[in-house]
Amino acid sequence: MDDDQTFTKKQRFLQAVKDFFSRALDVNGRTNRVDYGWTILFLVTIVAFFMLLSLALLLSMLGYSKLTVVVNLVWIVSSVFLLFLATLILVPFLSLLLRRLRDVGLRGRGTLVLMLLWLGSNFLYYYVVIKPLYAIYQSPLSTSFVDPIYAFLGFVFFSSLVFLVVPFFPANALTIRKPNTLLRFFLRSR
């Protein structure tokens, strides 16, 4: 895309979505904040639509509906489509995120280590904290009314805020000036 062209918001949005899918396997290069923001808005809108559709169908299944078989079938199809959609956008989203994080100042290997640490901490938190709590929650002596899985989902959300906030930093915001062995593993030097 040429930098000297002026785009309307609609054209910029459509170009960002087009670039998202056309550069699905491209982890090199750059992605600016505006295109990243438009793409995230697009993805959140699409996923939220299908999640709300699945939730509405699930709630109508739980109600007393005469069309229970049809609603069940539509809910299953909607849920499978949501899973398919999530799988379909995972690789392009990861390449978009890697391009943007590199643009902000993170190095590729440092980003990989941070993502593996994030995944590892989520699995560790689930197996060390949530699973024992879930066993207590399901026991007949439990007086808890809150499912521990909500604590896990909260942990995943708050731990992933780094990957939601950092890409909106300006280009080269996390680069370092003085060489430091540990920091140079994660961050680019100027």
How many whole angstroms separate alpha carbon 135 and alpha carbon 14? 48
Average pLDDT in the chain: 81
How many whole angstroms separate alpha carbon 117 and alpha carbon 122? 9
Residues 13/1, Cβ–Cβ less than 8 Å: no
Average pLDDT over residues 27-56: 86
Residues 50/82, Cβ–Cβ less than 8 Å: yes
* pLDDT score recorded for residue 86: 81
pTM exceeding the 0.95 threshold for the entire prediction = no
How many whole angstroms separate alpha carbon 106 and alpha carbon 114? 10
Residues 111/118, Cβ–Cβ less than 8 Å: no
Nearest partner of 178 among 189, 187, 169, 168, judged by Cα = 189
Q: Which amino acid is at 119?
A: L
Q: What is the pLDDT of residues 61-115, one digit of tens each?
A: 666 556 667 767 777 777 788 788 888 888 899 899 999 999 999 988 888 888 8
Residues 59/51, Cβ–Cβ less than 8 Å: no
Half-sphere CA count of 140, side-chain side, radius 13 A: 0
How many whole angstroms separate alpha carbon 3 and alpha carbon 106? 24
Residue 141 structure tokens: 């002596």
